[in-house]
Chain A
Amino acid sequence: MAATDTLETLLRAAFPDASELAVEDRTGGGDHFQVTLASDRFDGLPLVQQHRLVYDALSEPLADGSIHELRIKTRGSAT
């Protein structure tokens, strides 16, 4: 189990420049999350690379099983 603010802290550390950052607990059970993230680091990157950056930031809770499901919505600064 992970708390939304744990994930938010990890994402904020990896994307200090994020223009939008939201972590939502989709089910209230503390293991299904929706991450919404806008950053100019995503500019020009294909979605698969954008999501990889998010996975990298959350590698620990992903690896230890505290995230059961992760939905990701990313966008660059231009869109």
Chain B
Amino acid sequence: MSELRDQIQQIISTEPVAVFMKGTPQLIMCGNSDRALRALADAGAPVTAVDVLPDPQIRQELSALSGWPTIPQVFIKGELVGGADIVEELHASGELRQRLDEALGAERGADVKTAVLA
């Protein structure tokens, strides 16, 4: 397993909510990443964002790990929730907040931070 893949796995496993996206929360480079972040913010999720754009290798290793071909990818407590369509759909039905409550507790913080892969 490559070092990069280890780093990605580490973020997925340890961050409460990991979002692999195009751009950063400050400078979103893709409408779908934007949709996912908005739904998560509305549901009161803390977010650790990882920009996949700096190195094509990131996306390659991520998809090899997750078996999911597209970006964004949202993980809650290490489990792949899905991409923008799913996160939006789960938010609309109230299920996203419910899953966040179950995984992280209702009294969670909602900080948005960025993790950079070395």
Contacts and interface: CB of A to CB of B under 8 A. Distances in A.
A63 to B, nearest CB: 7
Interface of A: 47-48, 51-52, 55, 59, 62-63, 69-73
Contacts of A70: 70
Interface of B: 32, 67-70, 80-86, 89-90
22 contacts: A47-B82, A47-B89, A48-B80, A48-B81, A48-B82, A48-B86, A51-B83, A51-B86, A52-B68, A55-B68, A55-B69, A55-B70, A59-B69, A62-B69, A63-B69, A69-B32, A69-B70, A70-B70, A71-B85, A72-B85, A73-B85, A73-B89
Contacts, number: 29
Q: 8 shortest A-B CB distances, which residue pairs?
A: A47-B86, A48-B82, A62-B69, A72-B85, A55-B69, A71-B85, A47-B82, A48-B80
* Chain B binding surface SS class: mixed
Contacts of B80: 48
A72 B86 CA distance: 8
Contacts of B89: 47, 73
Q: Which residue, of A47, A62, A71, has the highest number of chain B Cβ atoms within 10 A?
A: A47
B83 to A, nearest CB: 7
A51 B82 contact: yes
Q: Which residue, of A55, A59, A63, has the highest number of chain B Cβ atoms within 10 A?
A: A55
A59 B70 CA distance: 11
Contacts of A52: 67-68
